[in-house]
Structure 1
Amino acid sequence: MTDATELPVLDAAQARLLGCLIEKEATTPDVYPLTVNAAVSAANQKTARDPLMSLQAGAVQHALRALESLGLARQQFSSRAERYEHLTGKVFGLPNQQVALLGLLLLRGPQTVNELLARAERLTTLADAEDARHHLDRLAHRSSALVVQIPRGPGQREDRWMHLLAGPVDVEAVQARTTGAVPAAAGELEHRLAALEARVAELEARLGDQGGGDPAPGSGAQLS
């Protein structure tokens, strides 16, 4: 897939899982590529996710296989269970910084440059807000744009950015939804929560591997 190729349109589960694969490659490399068990835990985290989701193992496995069919993920096999890795950078021809920013937008919805800068610290290296904005501009001005800038609404101090991998964005609806929203913490508390989530995910992945593989697929995906 190249810059000029039409973008895939992901559903909510597929977008969440692609974001999870991008995130966990950086934050828990010891258990990456992810098993289905680890991917379930990552998708259903209660912090660093918007919206919160409650995906069953079967829905996660289905989403991962759909990403594989789109060329955005690849399945690997270990002695115990199938594992999945993302191919985002290769497919879209992106540097690591842009992959990380896209992953954050997949996981957490519309965000400001400063929110993305703080949250990207665990995933990649960005010099400052201008560097983050430069990479977002590159993502937005490709022939097939991967992100869009959402102009600030009433009472907001900054523009926001949103990914386009789930199809066209209704800018006015996003403005209305985010106007007056309480900004997410970007300081020490968020970093501590993110580190704790990463550690829990790693432990759950290890326990899942020791349990002899993935559970029998369930059915359906439900937003909390």
Structure 2
Amino acid sequence: MLIVDHLLNDTEVRVLGALIEKEITTPDYYPLSLNALMTACNQSSNRHPVVHFDEDMVARAADSLREKKLIHLVDRSESRVSKYRHVLYEAMNLSRPAIAVMCVLMLRGPQTVGEIRTRSNRLYDFSSLEEVETTLTSLMSAAPPLVVRMPRQTGLKEVRYAHLLSGEVRLAESEPEPDRIAKLEKEVEVRVIACWYDACSGHHGRYAQRGRVPTLNSAIRRWRG
């Protein structure tokens, strides 16, 4: 059983995940040309984050993955275009359920057991959440481990799992997308309110004479409508 000799960067993870996905979901168009591989990496559905790689980025990542013996370049006599295919089954001795789990984690980041089952339905038909958990356990027990169980985060009911192909997962990077958006919206709200309040403070004397000194609470109420 061969193990990844070096950690993968984000571009390599996306390239490898895209190859795994397309082998299973669109076998008639697999292996993939460089252009098709770039398109698969950049698609907006079933991806987090959405990226905008160019051909040079994808080609460099593919060359690096070839050196790590995780993908092969296929030259066929009937085609003038070289194409890429992954060899993760052979390189890591992974089962089809394990490949499906790794693929969705590589393409969409840390996820709960339920999310993994739902999002992998085109890759493998898990019969139950327990089957997903069994697969995750096998990946966590591999030598070296390929998946990690994330610490439970405040405000989340379920724990999530992440792949380890890029090394240790930093908690800030694993924050769910809705939580990131909510946090950004809150930061924008606070900054807008602060700017509005500062502007009003410049007219403190005029407002005070009229008995209308604005407060932060009134600013918040006005901002929220």
Task: Please give the secondary structure, in 1, of the residue aligned with 2:84.
Answer: strand
After superposition, give the CA deviation of every residue in 1:136-186 in whole Å (9 maximum; x if it has no partner).
11001112000101122111111101000011122x4356x239639xxxx
Percent sequence identity over aligned pairs: 35
SS, match of residue 54 in structure 1: coil
Letter in 1 for 2:88: T
Partners of 1:169 and 1:77 in 2: CA distance: 36
Distance 1:153 1:37, change over 3 A: same
8 Å Cα contact 1:112/1:158 also seen in 2: yes
Q: How many residues are matched?
A: 178
Q: Which has the higher helix share?
A: 2
Q: How does 1:93-108 map to 2 (within 5 A)?
A: 93-108=93-108
The one-letter amino acid paired with 1:125 is D
Looking at CA atoms only, which structure, 1 or 2, has the larger radius of gyration? 2
Matches of 1:76 and 1:130 in 2, distance apart?
38
Equivalent residue for 1:199? none
- Determine the C-alpha separation between the residues in 2 that align with 1:179 and 1:65: 31
Structure with more relative contact order (C-alpha pairs < 8 Å, separation 6 or more): 1
Q: In the alignment, is residue 167 of structure 1 matched against residue 167 of structure 2? A: yes
CA distance in structure 1 between the aligned counterparts of 2:153 and 2:178, rounded to whole angstroms: 9
**Structure 1 residue 60 and structure 2 residue 58: aligned?**
yes
Q: In the alignment, is residue 135 of structure 1 matched against residue 120 of structure 2?
A: no
Structure 1's unaligned 5+ residue stretches are 183-224
The answer to whether the 8 A contact 1:139-1:146 is kept is yes
Structure with greater proportional strand content: 1
Verify the 8 A CA contact 2:140 2:148 in the aligned structure 1. Answer: yes
Residues 150 and 139 of structure 1: CA distance in aligned 2, closer, same or farther (over 3 Å):
same
Between stretches 71-80 and 9-18, larger displacement belongs to 71-80
Q: CA RMSD in A?
A: 1.7
Deviation larger for 16-25 or 120-129: 120-129
Q: Which runs of 5+ in 2 are unaligned?
A: 181-225
User: TM-score, normalised to structure 2's length?
Assistant: 0.75
